[in-house]
């Protein structure tokens, strides 16, 4: 495999991972809000770590900047508080 092919594969893999991890964060939020399953909130910081790793590839720089501008470090590192999770 050439270096260009390797880089293209890595970028594609990161894009797929970022999409998957973003979807999982949304599903966990829905499971709490709609289905009253607060245990999923404790898993969110781990998924954020995976998403942040995916966002390190240059192809996702703009998406990383969007997340950086809209979701604080604290919100990514600490499991959401069930009492304030739905509060904007």
Confidence of residue 88 (pLDDT cuts 50, 70, 90): low
Residue with tokens 């997340």: 67
Q: What is the pTM of this model?
A: 0.89
- pLDDT tens for 1-51 read 899 999 899 999 999 999 999 999 999 999 999 999 999 999 999 999 999
User: Contact 45/77 with Cβ under 8 angstroms?
Assistant: yes
Q: What angle do CA 62, 17, 50 make, to 5 degrees?
A: 85
Taking the C-alpha atoms of residue 86 and residue 56, their distance in angstroms, rounded to an integer, is 28
């Amino acid at each position: 495999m050439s270096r260009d092919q390797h880089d293209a594969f890595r970028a594609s893999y990161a894009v797929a991972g970022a999409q998957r991890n973003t979807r999982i964060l949304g599903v966990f939020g829905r499971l709490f809000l709609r289905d009253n399953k607060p245990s999923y909130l404790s898993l969110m910081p781990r998924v954020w770590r995976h998403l942040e790793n995916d966002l390190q590839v240059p192809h996702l720089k703009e998406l990383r900047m969007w997340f950086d501008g809209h979701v604080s470090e604290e919100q990514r590192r600490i499991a959401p508080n069930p009492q304030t999770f739905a509060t904007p």
